[in-house]
Homo-oligomer: A and B are copies of this chain.
Amino acid sequence: MAGSFFKGCFLSLFDYKTEKYIVAKNKKVGVLYRLIQLSFIGYIIGWVFVSKKGYQETDEAIQSSIITKLKGVSVTNTTESGLLVWGPEDYVIPPQGEAVLFVVTNFLETPNQRLGYCAENPKVLNGHCRDDKDCEEGKMIVAGNGIMSGQCLRKDENSTGTCEIYGWCPIERIFKPQGPLLTNAENFTIYIKNFIQFPKFTFSKSNVLETTDDSFLKKCRFDQVLHPYCPIFHLGDITRRAGYNFQDMATLGGSIGIIIEWDCDLDKGHSNCHPQYHFTRLDVSVSNKTIATGFNFRHTRYFKNAAGETYRSLLKVYGIQFNVMVHGKAGKFSIIPTAINVGSGLALMGAGAFICDLILLYLMKKGNSYRERKFEKQHTEVINQHLRTTVWKMERVTRSRTI
């Protein structure tokens, strides 16, 4: 007996149970429900599958290597520095071809600085004085150029002067850039080698066009339409694509982002994975044009004379920072995300049914009767049970009579 009971239980495990539905002949709600279903199916197919490629497993952990190389020369002629020829070894800072690089477009050299005593720059706040008491000996002010000696240097007794400092003298002169000195920096070219890898799919690629034409890389220039896969850019072209004029930016300096975007659909094959270049100015916010923009910094070159005394050249350089950023993702068909997306999309339809139920049961006129049919109360079943028993009895009675 027990055996057959468990056997029954086990067999009933493989009876398929499916939800019982009641049919409400309500065309309004029916049409609404079909519309909701259609929009979910449209969402699943259109958005999840076509637009977002939900059937693909994606790898966003792009590994990227960037090597940059600039070419071009420029000549400057200033009173302090004389005639100078600038090559990439001088105007690219740092010179090692990194993803973030600074190109000098303007500069001010203060040659032959030696440690000694001289007057503070009059532009320095708190550097002004009326007498020696204003220049406390040994005091260092944040924006200053050295340590105060305690003397106030004035033209005559009644004028305002500046404190004497011990520092690198002569101090840098006040300089208002009128235009870039490296006038043809606009024509410099930058060669961006970008190698990427998607470790999950063991896929690697380079932004340099695969070609058998050796001279292609010597002659080509990037052009969104004509040469989208040429990795050599004119600096002037980059700023133009970012929406700014090179000469305007070059005077005071700025920062440009070069974004390389790899959106690779590996189902379409290796050769369909191409880089997209975007250019944007990074140091200007739309809302706040008033911030003093510009990019400059100072660096030094140290020398020693025959006596072993140190002197230096102080270079204040203005220029454009180029910031090469790589974004990317790759997708490839995989069964698991496909199943998840289909399943959760179908599950979402339950939400549609929920809304239609609310409308049918609580907003429709005949809602009450639907409610009764949808929610089968226990007494209905009891009544049916009672009914059956009654009929049995009656049948027996009827049969006995006919006999």
Binding site for B on A (CB under 8 A): 12-27, 29-34, 43, 47, 61, 63-65, 67, 69, 71-75, 83-85, 87-90, 93-98, 100, 102, 112, 115, 125, 140, 142-147, 166-168, 184, 187-189, 193, 195, 197, 199, 203-206, 208, 210, 212, 218, 255, 257, 259, 270, 280, 282-288, 290-291, 295, 297-306, 308, 313-314, 321, 323, 325, 327, 336, 339-340, 342-344, 346-348, 350-351, 353-354, 356-357, 360, 370, 373-378, 381, 383-384, 387-388, 390-391, 394-395, 397-398, 402
Contacts A65-B257, A168-B87, A336-B47 hold; do A302 and B299 have CB atoms under 8 A apart?
Answer: no
Q: Find out whether the CB atom of B300 lies under 8 angstroms from the CB atom of A303.
A: no
Q: Would you give the shortest CB distance from A22 to chain B, in whole angstroms?
A: 5
Give every chain B residue within 8 A of A287 (Cβ-Cβ).
204-205, 210, 270
Give every chain B residue within 8 A of A376 (Cβ-Cβ).
20-23, 373
Contacts A20-B20, A24-B16, A93-B96 hold; do A348 and B343 have CB atoms under 8 A apart?
Answer: yes
CA distance A374 to B383 in the complex (A): 17
Q: Find out whether the CB atom of A15 lies under 8 angstroms from the CB atom of B20.
A: no
CA distance A74 to B360 in the complex (A): 80
Q: Find out whether the CB atom of B115 lies under 8 angstroms from the CB atom of A83.
A: yes
Give every chain B residue within 8 A of A303 (Cβ-Cβ).
302-304
Q: Find out whether the CB atom of B142 lies under 8 angstroms from the CB atom of A187.
A: yes
Q: A14-B31, A23-B378, A208-B291 are in contact. List 12 more A-B contacts (CB 8 A).
A: A15-B27, A16-B23, A22-B375, A63-B280, A73-B146, A85-B167, A87-B168, A125-B218, A340-B348, A350-B350, A390-B395, A397-B402
Q: Find out whether the CB atom of A87 lies under 8 angstroms from the CB atom of B218.
A: no
Question: Which secondary structure dominates chain A's binding surface?
Answer: mixed
Query: Which 5 residue pairs across A and B have the least CB separation, nearest first?
Result: A65-B282, A14-B30, A343-B348, A343-B351, A16-B30
How many of these chains are in the complex? Answer: 3
CA distance A350 to B184 in the complex (A): 68
Q: Find out whether the CB atom of B17 lies under 8 angstroms from the CB atom of A22.
A: yes
CA distance A32 to B17 in the complex (A): 12
Q: Find out whether the CB atom of B24 lies under 8 angstroms from the CB atom of A17.
A: yes
Contacts A283-B65, A291-B208 hold; do A19 and B19 have CB atoms under 8 A apart?
Answer: yes
Q: Which of B115, B290, B360 contacts A16 (CB 8 A)?
A: B360
12 A-B residue pairings within 8 Å (CB atoms): A16-B29, A18-B357, A23-B375, A65-B255, A84-B115, A87-B168, A142-B189, A343-B347, A350-B350, A383-B388, A384-B384, A391-B391
